[in-house]
Structure 1
Amino acid sequence: MTPREVVERWVALFNAADAAGLADLYHPEAINHQVTQDPIEGREAIRAMFEREFSAAKMVCIVETIHEAGEVAALEWRDPLGLRGCGFFTVRNGRIAFQRGYWDKLSFLKMHGLPIQ
Protein backbone atom coordinates (compact mmCIF):
# COMPACT_ATOMS: atom_id res chain seq x y z
CA MET A 1 0.00 0.00 0.00
CA THR A 2 1.07 3.57 -0.61
CA PRO A 3 1.40 5.90 2.39
CA ARG A 4 -1.94 7.50 1.44
CA GLU A 5 -3.66 4.10 1.29
CA VAL A 6 -2.19 3.13 4.66
CA VAL A 7 -3.53 6.34 6.22
CA GLU A 8 -6.95 5.85 4.63
CA ARG A 9 -7.04 2.32 6.10
CA TRP A 10 -5.80 3.71 9.45
CA VAL A 11 -8.72 6.18 9.53
CA ALA A 12 -11.26 3.42 8.80
CA LEU A 13 -9.85 1.20 11.57
CA PHE A 14 -9.59 4.13 14.00
CA ASN A 15 -13.23 5.02 13.41
CA ALA A 16 -14.16 1.37 14.03
CA ALA A 17 -12.15 1.45 17.32
CA ASP A 18 -10.21 -1.58 16.05
CA ALA A 19 -7.01 -1.53 18.13
CA ALA A 20 -5.75 -4.87 16.79
CA GLY A 21 -6.36 -3.85 13.18
CA LEU A 22 -4.58 -0.55 13.76
CA ALA A 23 -1.62 -2.27 15.40
CA ASP A 24 -1.26 -4.52 12.36
CA LEU A 25 -0.59 -1.43 10.22
CA TYR A 26 2.59 -0.69 12.21
CA HIS A 27 6.08 -2.16 11.90
CA PRO A 28 6.93 -4.33 14.93
CA GLU A 29 9.38 -1.64 16.17
CA ALA A 30 7.29 1.38 15.13
CA ILE A 31 7.12 4.56 17.17
CA ASN A 32 3.90 6.53 17.69
CA HIS A 33 4.63 9.94 19.16
CA GLN A 34 1.61 12.07 19.96
CA VAL A 35 3.43 15.22 21.04
CA THR A 36 1.17 15.67 24.06
CA GLN A 37 2.47 12.37 25.46
CA ASP A 38 5.62 10.27 25.65
CA PRO A 39 6.43 8.25 22.50
CA ILE A 40 5.03 4.71 22.38
CA GLU A 41 7.47 2.15 20.99
CA GLY A 42 6.58 -1.18 19.44
CA ARG A 43 3.50 -2.63 17.78
CA GLU A 44 2.17 -4.30 20.95
CA ALA A 45 2.57 -1.14 23.03
CA ILE A 46 0.79 0.82 20.29
CA ARG A 47 -2.07 -1.72 20.31
CA ALA A 48 -2.36 -1.39 24.10
CA MET A 49 -2.38 2.42 23.79
CA PHE A 50 -5.27 2.31 21.32
CA GLU A 51 -7.18 -0.12 23.56
CA ARG A 52 -6.81 2.28 26.52
CA GLU A 53 -7.80 5.31 24.47
CA PHE A 54 -10.84 3.63 22.88
CA SER A 55 -12.06 2.55 26.31
CA ALA A 56 -11.75 6.10 27.64
CA ALA A 57 -13.52 8.09 24.91
CA LYS A 58 -15.51 7.78 21.70
CA MET A 59 -13.18 9.17 19.06
CA VAL A 60 -13.95 9.91 15.42
CA CYS A 61 -11.48 11.03 12.77
CA ILE A 62 -12.98 13.08 9.93
CA VAL A 63 -10.45 13.55 7.15
CA GLU A 64 -9.92 17.12 6.03
CA THR A 65 -7.11 16.25 3.66
CA ILE A 66 -4.29 13.77 3.11
CA HIS A 67 -1.05 14.82 1.45
CA GLU A 68 1.55 12.33 0.29
CA ALA A 69 5.23 12.97 -0.41
CA GLY A 70 7.53 10.01 -0.85
CA GLU A 71 7.22 7.73 2.15
CA VAL A 72 5.31 10.30 4.26
CA ALA A 73 1.58 10.99 4.38
CA ALA A 74 0.21 13.99 6.27
CA LEU A 75 -3.33 13.75 7.62
CA GLU A 76 -5.25 16.87 8.59
CA TRP A 77 -8.35 15.90 10.61
CA ARG A 78 -11.20 17.12 12.77
CA ASP A 79 -13.72 15.40 14.98
CA PRO A 80 -17.46 15.98 15.47
CA LEU A 81 -16.83 17.96 18.67
CA GLY A 82 -14.64 20.55 16.94
CA LEU A 83 -11.17 19.30 17.85
CA ARG A 84 -8.66 19.58 15.03
CA GLY A 85 -5.22 18.13 14.51
CA CYS A 86 -2.74 16.64 12.11
CA GLY A 87 -0.65 13.53 11.91
CA PHE A 88 2.44 12.57 9.94
CA PHE A 89 2.93 8.92 9.01
CA THR A 90 6.21 7.55 7.69
CA VAL A 91 5.37 4.36 5.80
CA ARG A 92 7.98 1.81 4.79
CA ASN A 93 7.14 -1.45 3.02
CA GLY A 94 3.42 -0.81 3.51
CA ARG A 95 3.62 -0.40 7.30
CA ILE A 96 3.81 2.64 9.57
CA ALA A 97 7.35 3.01 10.88
CA PHE A 98 6.85 6.37 12.61
CA GLN A 99 3.84 8.51 13.44
CA ARG A 100 3.71 11.95 15.00
CA GLY A 101 0.48 13.69 15.92
CA TYR A 102 -0.35 17.25 16.92
CA TRP A 103 -3.59 18.12 18.74
CA ASP A 104 -4.79 19.99 21.83
CA LYS A 105 -4.89 17.50 24.71
CA LEU A 106 -6.51 19.93 27.17
CA SER A 107 -9.42 20.56 24.79
CA PHE A 108 -9.77 16.80 24.17
CA LEU A 109 -9.93 16.02 27.91
CA LYS A 110 -12.48 18.78 28.55
CA MET A 111 -14.68 17.75 25.59
CA HIS A 112 -14.83 14.16 26.82
CA GLY A 113 -15.23 14.98 30.52
CA LEU A 114 -11.94 13.24 31.35
CA PRO A 115 -9.63 14.20 34.21
CA ILE A 116 -7.05 16.82 33.37
CA GLN A 117 -3.65 15.22 33.73
Structure 2
Amino acid sequence: MKVAIPVTNGMVDGPGEGLKVRIYEVDKEVKLLEEYDNPALTAMAARGIYMLRSALDKGVTAFIVAEIGPPGVRFLEGKAKIYLAEGKVEGVLNKLIKGELKETHEPTHGEHHSHGHH
Protein backbone atom coordinates (compact mmCIF):
# COMPACT_ATOMS: atom_id res chain seq x y z
CA MET A 1 0.00 0.00 0.00
CA LYS A 2 1.27 3.46 -0.85
CA VAL A 3 0.75 5.86 2.05
CA ALA A 4 1.22 9.63 2.19
CA ILE A 5 1.85 11.52 5.43
CA PRO A 6 2.14 15.28 5.97
CA VAL A 7 5.13 15.67 8.30
CA THR A 8 6.57 18.46 10.44
CA ASN A 9 9.74 17.72 12.44
CA GLY A 10 9.17 13.96 12.24
CA MET A 11 5.60 14.22 13.54
CA VAL A 12 2.34 13.52 11.71
CA ASP A 13 0.63 16.81 10.81
CA GLY A 14 -2.46 17.99 8.92
CA PRO A 15 -2.50 18.06 5.08
CA GLY A 16 -2.58 21.88 5.04
CA GLU A 17 0.09 22.30 7.73
CA GLY A 18 2.81 19.69 7.25
CA LEU A 19 6.10 21.12 5.99
CA LYS A 20 6.94 17.98 4.02
CA VAL A 21 4.99 15.21 2.36
CA ARG A 22 6.44 11.72 2.72
CA ILE A 23 5.29 8.80 0.63
CA TYR A 24 5.90 5.31 1.95
CA GLU A 25 5.42 1.83 0.58
CA VAL A 26 3.92 -0.08 3.49
CA ASP A 27 3.73 -3.85 3.48
CA LYS A 28 5.22 -5.99 6.23
CA GLU A 29 7.89 -3.31 6.41
CA VAL A 30 8.07 0.36 5.60
CA LYS A 31 10.04 1.93 2.78
CA LEU A 32 10.28 5.70 2.24
CA LEU A 33 9.75 6.28 -1.49
CA GLU A 34 10.05 10.05 -1.53
CA GLU A 35 9.81 13.25 0.44
CA TYR A 36 8.96 16.65 -1.01
CA ASP A 37 7.88 20.12 0.11
CA ASN A 38 4.17 20.32 0.85
CA PRO A 39 2.50 22.22 -2.02
CA ALA A 40 -0.22 23.32 0.43
CA LEU A 41 2.18 25.83 1.98
CA THR A 42 2.14 28.01 -1.13
CA ALA A 43 -1.59 27.60 -1.85
CA MET A 44 -3.98 30.41 -1.09
CA ALA A 45 -7.17 28.43 -0.39
CA ALA A 46 -8.21 24.84 0.41
CA ARG A 47 -4.55 24.21 1.15
CA GLY A 48 -4.97 20.63 2.30
CA ILE A 49 -6.44 19.68 -1.09
CA TYR A 50 -3.17 20.60 -2.81
CA MET A 51 -1.26 18.19 -0.60
CA LEU A 52 -3.83 15.42 -1.04
CA ARG A 53 -3.95 15.84 -4.83
CA SER A 54 -0.15 15.88 -5.13
CA ALA A 55 0.03 12.50 -3.38
CA LEU A 56 -2.90 10.98 -5.27
CA ASP A 57 -1.09 11.90 -8.50
CA LYS A 58 1.75 9.68 -7.27
CA GLY A 59 -0.49 6.65 -6.81
CA VAL A 60 -1.13 6.88 -3.07
CA THR A 61 -4.10 4.86 -1.76
CA ALA A 62 -4.04 5.94 1.90
CA PHE A 63 -3.27 9.02 3.98
CA ILE A 64 -2.25 9.28 7.61
CA VAL A 65 -3.06 12.72 9.00
CA ALA A 66 -3.27 14.38 12.41
CA GLU A 67 -6.40 16.23 11.28
CA ILE A 68 -8.49 16.78 8.18
CA GLY A 69 -11.27 19.18 7.27
CA PRO A 70 -14.53 18.59 5.37
CA PRO A 71 -13.07 19.56 1.94
CA GLY A 72 -10.27 17.01 2.34
CA VAL A 73 -12.66 14.24 3.38
CA ARG A 74 -14.94 14.98 0.41
CA PHE A 75 -11.99 15.16 -1.97
CA LEU A 76 -10.67 11.73 -0.93
CA GLU A 77 -14.03 9.99 -0.88
CA GLY A 78 -13.82 6.89 -3.07
CA LYS A 79 -10.16 7.66 -3.89
CA ALA A 80 -8.13 6.83 -0.78
CA LYS A 81 -8.38 5.76 2.85
CA ILE A 82 -7.87 8.30 5.62
CA TYR A 83 -6.27 7.26 8.90
CA LEU A 84 -6.05 9.56 11.91
CA ALA A 85 -2.96 9.44 14.05
CA GLU A 86 -0.81 11.65 16.23
CA GLY A 87 2.83 11.41 17.10
CA LYS A 88 6.08 10.32 15.51
CA VAL A 89 5.85 9.03 11.95
CA GLU A 90 7.76 5.79 12.68
CA GLY A 91 5.47 4.81 15.54
CA VAL A 92 2.38 5.59 13.52
CA LEU A 93 3.60 3.48 10.59
CA ASN A 94 4.21 0.56 12.97
CA LYS A 95 0.63 0.89 14.17
CA LEU A 96 -0.59 0.88 10.57
CA ILE A 97 1.27 -2.38 9.87
CA LYS A 98 -0.28 -3.92 12.99
CA GLY A 99 -3.76 -2.77 11.95
CA GLU A 100 -4.10 -0.46 14.96
CA LEU A 101 -4.90 2.78 13.15
CA LYS A 102 -8.48 3.94 12.90
CA GLU A 103 -9.84 4.75 9.47
CA THR A 104 -12.10 7.80 9.38
CA HIS A 105 -14.77 9.13 7.04
CA GLU A 106 -15.42 12.22 9.16
CA PRO A 107 -13.58 15.54 9.31
CA THR A 108 -11.79 16.29 12.56
CA HIS A 109 -12.99 19.87 12.49
CA GLY A 110 -15.84 21.85 10.93
CA GLU A 111 -16.14 24.06 7.85
CA HIS A 112 -15.42 27.28 9.72
CA HIS A 113 -12.80 26.01 12.13
CA SER A 114 -9.69 28.16 12.03
CA HIS A 115 -6.20 27.55 13.35
CA GLY A 116 -5.55 31.26 13.54
CA HIS A 117 -2.70 31.29 11.02
CA HIS A 118 -3.95 32.81 7.80
Please classify the TM superposition score into its range, dividing by the shorter chain length.
Answer: under 0.3
Q: Of Structure 1 and Structure 2, which has the larger fraction of its residues in strand? A: 1
TM-score by length of 1: 0.25
